[in-house]
Structure 1
Amino acid sequence: MKKFIKKFLLSSLVVSSIFTSVSGFTVKATELPPVYSEGAVLMDGRTGKVLYSKNEHTQYEPASTTKVMTALVVLENVSLTDKVTIGEKPPQVDGSALGIQKGEVYTVEELMYGLLLESANDCAEALAEYVSGSNEEFAKLMNAKAKELGALNTNFKNPSGLHEDGHLTTAYDLALIMKAASHNEEYVRISQTESYKYVNQPFSDGSEKWATNRNQLLNEYSAYYYGNTFCGKNGYTPEANHAYTAAAVNGDQMLIASFINATDKDNFYTNIGPLFDYGFDNFETIKLISANDELDTYKINEDITIPLLAKSDFYYTKAKSDKTPLYSLEYDKTDISKQAISLGDTLYKVKIVIDGETVSTIDLISGTNREYDNKIKLQENLLEFIKKPMNIASIVLALFIFFILIKFIIYFIKRRKLKRKYSKFHRYKS
């Protein structure tokens, strides 16, 4: 891990060369290289914007790139320190294997090393049985996670990627899955490991058991090594052909690439690095909005306004040759004037529009506190009543009528008093 980080930091300081050798000829690093797979996607690792695609939504078998999803599901459902007793079925699985045996006990983390470094199918099935009891039940978790990530054209049947009818994904879906994995710290840590020794579980003949990283672009001794590789997973079956998915980092920019159904192995792997270079050279992801930026205000009255702040950062991926875009906000500003508001309350969800297209949404939160008790409510209701023209006229009319009534009352009281005096006077005279 330390060796990889050292290599990564050094490679990040080196400027990409202007020319890259590709399949016997030379292309500029800023030009799109040939892509030797039937399905392919190059995606920004932060925003998810697709920078290049080829049959991005066409379904193909993913082979062992399946194990990226297997790892995500395992990491979300059990602890790495859990102990797994190997059952009868995992050691009998076809294809690549670590060599685990029935009755042996491994931690989840140890099986994850076998899963991601050696691409071991026996480890994949052992983990699936531990999490869900069977491959079939585990596949349900895989498919649920795929839908959660937006991988809507994916259907997993097993945790290993071995050929099975209906076990399919797309280049776009695989990129989404790799994007999620590249932001999972435990996945990255394990998948970057160069090798792992099973100290407590040697082979039955006493020889050492190791898991060695088979990632074609991460291994510096590989003919396909690419210095900016961050993490990834390769795969192959006779039915699926070659598949690969990876994340690469250059400075603070991350790109995700996925490739499915490639038959020309050498050209396929040779051109993955140049495709990443094409993305890094031609595109950039910029922060258009920072968390707590004041994007709007809500006016309650002349004395009270509520600052509306961005709840989170918003990043936008664009061609380096394009200018920084202008954006607008679209949302229904519903009435919030009759409620108490606390600092940080989410008040609105708004659309971010660039060039007439909604590119994302963001929450607006309150930048202040606002009390709203019964006393304030009564005061506001009274002010609102007084301010309305009809109500003012009604009040004036009522006051006028009240004034007239008072006048009449005073007149009748005076007249009554006069009558009494007059009556007393006549009684006195008589």
Structure 2
Amino acid sequence: MKELRAKSYELRVRAVIRSLFLFVAFYSLLVTSVFADEISAKAAVVIDSASERILYAKNPNLKLPPASTTKLVTAITVLESINPDAVATVSENAAGTPSVTPRLRAGEKYTVRDLLHLALMRSVNSAAVALAEAVAGSEDAFVSMMNDKAMKMGAENARFINSSGLPGPGQYITAFDLAKIMKESLKYPLIREIINTRAREIFSEDGRRIFIKNTNQLLWTDDDNLGGKTGYTRAARHCFVSAAKKGQNTLIAAVLGESARDNLWEDSTALLSKGYDVLTQKAEPMIYFSSVSERPVVLASYNKHKAAGHKKINAHKHSNIKKVAAKNKKKNGSHANIAGKKKAKKSSGKNFSAHKQESTGKS
């Protein structure tokens, strides 16, 4: 009789434990979906810069227009080819490129250093074209150099057709490749200095004075931010890649296809916070796949004990991402995603209103 009671008690305890486990698993997945839904970008990723390990991603290999984030590759290619103190002349072709203000004038001369500030801080398209022509003689020849450099950086799913990021057929990038490009950009002291500069005065060789502010609003609101590059066209919508120092780690967040500019700062802040939680083992790294219409399809987890139906992905084998996505698109997807809360820091400095870009221009 005692053995029967003991057996019955053991079964009840197991049932309670099983119920608690299922509840925790369900709650975790439910909270996870909240974070996924809050990331409004079509594609997003946050990586550990040292290892390129994906800490969180939403459609990391989805090809989308890069807009002005292209200019990071332009800057890298320039610095590997020409002295920053060299002087370049703005051609009629460069001056005629659709661009935001300030408008560069044909015949004006600027140092390569100042043109890089105009291209990376203010996203002036004519500055990018002037740099391309100074290096390669023509923008077409320079673009070939850009694509070669992108491949060497490991950005195999990126292709550029101009130096500015202006829209056109066959130009694309993925969030994961954009993060890789930012990682490479941080190796160049001048790029690192420029993207971390809030404001600067620039003078042409004939004395024209230009004052510019950085389009990266996080420089005013997040002391951890090391810099970034914004982008916008009607085709690409709002894009942004940035780096931040969290503890001893450098994290990189990239977002593509944001519907609203303010979402750039909110999503990037949330991604960087989530990435740090993963590094400090407060959260689990995950890769989330959705259709273009933003309906969740599958959640990929690194956790060995995740519920059945969720595919495991090795954090260091990013080449498996597409395969996992393809297999799971045939199944009903989970609406689950990473748990997390966007942490928008309060402004620690002077805010500025970002200049609204033209449909043919950049942010």
- TM-score class, shorter-chain normalisation, is 0.5 to 0.7
What do residues 349-400 of structure 1 show as CA deviations (whole Å, max 9, x unaligned)? xxxxxxxx7959xxxxxxxxxxxxxxxxxxxxxxxxxxxxxxxxxxxxxxxx
In 1, Cα distance between the equivalents of 2:248 and 2:65?
32
Instruction: For 1:279 and 1:109, locate their aligned partners in 2 and report how far apart those are by CA, in whole Å.
Output: 33
Assess if the C-alpha contact under 8 Å between 1:97 and 1:121 holds in 2: no
1:276 aligns with 2:272: yes
1:209 aligns with 2:216: no
**Share of identical aligned residues, percent?**
34
In terms of fraction of residues, the more strand-rich structure is: 1
1:230-287 Cα distance to aligned partner (Å, 9 max, x none): 1100110111100000111122210011111111333343232122111112315xxx
1:99 Cα deviation from its structure 2 partner: 2.1
Which blocks of at least 5 consecutive residues in structure 2 are unaligned? 1-30, 285-313, 318-363
Please state if 1:248 is matched with 2:244.
Answer: yes
Q: CA deviation at 1:102?
A: 1.5
SS in 1 for 2:80: helix
Once the two structures are TM-superposed, the CA of residue 63 in structure 1 deviates from its matched residue by: 0.5
Aligned to 2:190: 186
* Paired AA for residue 210 in structure 2: K
Partner Cα distance (1:32, 1:238) in 2: 24
Is there any run of 5+ residues in structure 1 with no aligned partner, and where?
Answer: 1-26, 285-318, 323-356, 361-430
C-alpha distance in structure 2 between counterparts of 1:202 and 1:215, whole Å: 29
- CA shift in 2, pair 1:36/1:359, >3 Å: closer
Pair 1:230 & 2:252 matched: no
Aligned to 1:158: 162
1:264 to 2:246 alignment:
no
Please name the residue that 1:74 is paired with: 78
Displacement over 3 Å in runs of 4+ = 199-204, 319-322, 357-360
Q: 2:145 aligns with which of 141, 146, 149?
A: 141
Distance 1:250 1:278 in 2: 11
Q: TM-score normalised to the size of structure 2?
A: 0.66
1:216 deviation in Å?
2.2
Residue aligned with 2:132, SS? helix
Shift of 1:57: 1.0
Shift of 1:198: 2.2
Q: Tell whether the 8 Å contact from 1:84 to 1:105 is kept in structure 2 after alignment.
A: yes
Q: Which residue of 1 aligns with 2:44?
A: 40
Determine which of 67, 83, 97 is the counterpart of 1:93. 97
Residue matched to 2:54:
50
Give the conservation status (yes or no) of the 8 Å contact 1:217–1:226. Answer: yes
Counterpart of 1:175, as a letter, is A
RMSD over equivalenced CA pairs, Å? 2.6
Distance 1:268 1:82, change over 3 A: closer
TM-aligned CA deviation for residue 108 of structure 1: 0.3
Q: Does the 8 Å CA contact 1:98/1:123 hold for their aligned counterparts?
A: no
Counterpart of 2:361 in structure 1 is: none
Structure 1 counterpart SS, 2:98: coil
Task: Note if contact 1:203-1:209 (Cα within 8 Å) is conserved in structure 2.
Answer: no
Aligned-partner Cα distance in 1 for 2:87–2:261: 38
Higher relative contact order (CA 8 A, sep 6+): 2
> Which sits farther off after the overlay, 152-161 or 257-266?
257-266
Q: State the secondary structure of the residue aligned to 2:92.
A: coil
